[in-house]
Amino acid sequence: MKESVIEAMEHMTGFIIVLMTLGILWGLTALMGKFAIAWERAQNCGKTPNPSTAADKPSPAPVVAVASNADDGPTDEEVVIIAAAVSMMLSGRHRIVSIRAGSSDWSREGRRQIFSSHKIR
């Protein structure tokens, strides 16, 4: 009985040491993140964007996106989603020049995968 209690205590001690080590690593990582944010704020302190230089920038390149349905053209929801994706991925202002219908290769590949997953009797 004493040996099993001693073994259990050894395992618990090891488990507690591992948890403490993970906690210390988590704390150091969080501290480094806060330090990096403070460092970046200190580096950018006093730097304000000049509004006159924004007007001097050349206009952004046009973005051409591909819509999913080839028959009817893009729906209003698809246009909004494409515009939101362009806005999130590219910095600055951009203009979508055209949205063209894509090929049906994706739907064909999806059908092929569905059919290949079925058992042939």
Confidence check: pLDDT of 67 > 70 = no
How many CA atoms, within 13 angstroms, populate the side-chain half-sphere of residue 73?
Answer: 4
Number of domain units in the chain: 2
Nearest to 90 by CA among 117, 111, 62: 62
* Whole-number pLDDT of residue 19: 97
Asked, for residue 13, whether it belongs to a domain, the answer is: yes
Residue 113 lies inside a defined structural domain of this protein? no
For 10-49, write each residue's pLDDT tens digit: 999 999 999 999 999 999 999 999 999 998 888 877 665 5
Do the domain assignments include residue 66? yes
pLDDT in tens, 90-109: 877 788 888 776 666 778 88
Residues 99, 67, single domain; the answer is: yes
Q: Does residue 35 fall inside a structural domain?
A: yes
Domain holding 85, by residue range, is 59-103
Residues 96 and 70 in one domain: yes
pLDDT at 35: 93
